[in-house]
Amino acid sequence: MPVFLTIGTYDGVHLGHQKIIRALIRESLKRGLDSSLAYFPLPPRFFFSGEKENCLITLPGEREERIRRLGVKNIARIPFNNALAEMSAEAFFDKIILNARSARGLCVGRDFALGKDRKGDLVFLRRRCASAGVGFKAIPFAVFKGSKISSSLIRAFLRKGRVEPAARCLGWNYSVSGKVVRGAGLGRRLGFPTANIGAHPAKILPPGIFAVRVRLGDEMFYGVANVGRRPTVAASAAPLLLEVHILDFDRNIYGRRLEVEFLRRLRPERKFSSREALRRQIFKDVKTARQFLQ
């Protein structure tokens, strides 16, 4: 069935992506076509670099859920592989856009390019769309403080723990989900029991201490999250962990799935001289979080 198509990575489904999707839906309705979005689950840059951990804003399922909520009718995954990496812009346009996706319209951002070495730029796409009788729309960037909103910008914010500017670029509060797994029990011994979240290794974990909102099924709570390597009690090479102290909560939730929504960064993680000094700081963090969450 003929469609009006957009194609890209769409990691984060940020405000720039949302702008393209709104235009896609408008154009598809004008022409009586279904809206269709084809995306690469792993950004091509990570295919080439081999990066697989702490690199995605949204996992494929999370991305599709957000795209679907915006009203796109058809969503398709295009795994990026060696064959696609070596495909010329002409072959990509003919094989993927015209034949595989049956596009009768194409809507992309102004920095979009396809094909080997990204040779299929906007000039190329306008020309090929015109010759194939395919409608074409190039959508201006969304901007945050003078910078183009992009997945790369948001990843940079998150990797520094800067969840608030990340949220302003995303249009939603960054979140990480996973099942509650057993930890060492240190938080409980310090008087602040924590839920340790088994997050997907590809998800970016923003480092620091945060005020958070926690979703457990249909219930919602607030808490303080720590993302770090626990330098006071663990070796320097310890893996990055996400653990949450849920406020006013004392239930066994091992094996349950939690979503942790990052609201504000309270401070960076740091090493304390003793467990007692750590306990006192956690007490202060909880007090600060409560004041913010009121």
CATH code for position 273: 2.40.30.30
Q: Is residue 270 part of a domain?
A: yes
The helix/strand/coil state of 44 is helix
The residue among 1, 6, 9, 11 whose CA lies nearest residue 169 is: 11
The CA-CA-CA angle for residues 223, 228, 232, to 5°, reads 100
> Residues 131, 190: one domain?
no
Q: Is residue 184 part of a domain?
A: yes
Q: Is residue 216 part of a domain?
A: yes
Q: Is residue 194 part of a domain?
A: yes
Q: Is residue 155 part of a domain?
A: no
The 3-class secondary structure across 24-38, one letter per residue, is HHHHHHHHCCEEEEE
> Residues 118, 218: one domain?
no
Give CA–CA dist 268/226, Å, rounded: 9
Last residue of a domain, one of 143, 163, 197: 143
> Residues 8, 102: one domain?
yes
Report the half-sphere exposure of 11 (CA within 13 A, side-chain side): 22
> Residues 7, 137: one domain?
yes
Q: Is residue 218 part of a domain?
A: yes
Per-position pLDDT tens, the chain of length 294: 899 999 999 999 999 999 999 999 999 999 999 999 999 999 999 999 999 999 999 999 999 999 999 999 999 999 999 999 999 999 999 999 999 999 999 999 999 999 999 999 999 999 999 999 999 999 999 999 999 999 999 999 999 999 999 999 999 999 999 999 987 777 777 778 899 999 999 999 999 999 999 999 999 999 999 998 876 766 555 678 999 999 999 999 999 999 999 999 999 998 888 889 988 999 999 999 999 998
> Residues 139, 183: one domain?
no
Q: Is residue 261 part of a domain?
A: yes
Q: What is the CATH number of the domain that holds 83?
A: 3.40.50.620
Which residues are CB-neighbours of 133 under 8 A, at least 6 positions away?
A: 104
Domain count, the chain: 2
Last residue of a domain, one of 143, 165, 185: 143
> Residues 131, 61: one domain?
yes
Q: Is residue 149 part of a domain?
A: no
Between the CA atoms of 203, 255, 63 and 241, what dihedral angle is there, to the nearest 10 degrees?
Answer: -10
Q: Which two tokens stand for residue 264?
A: 């504000």
> Residues 250, 289: one domain?
yes
> Residues 71, 112: one domain?
yes
> Residues 203, 77: one domain?
no
Give CA–CA dist 41/35, Å, rounded: 19
> Residues 19, 106: one domain?
yes
> Residues 189, 132: one domain?
no
> Residues 27, 139: one domain?
yes
For 273, the domain range is 173-293
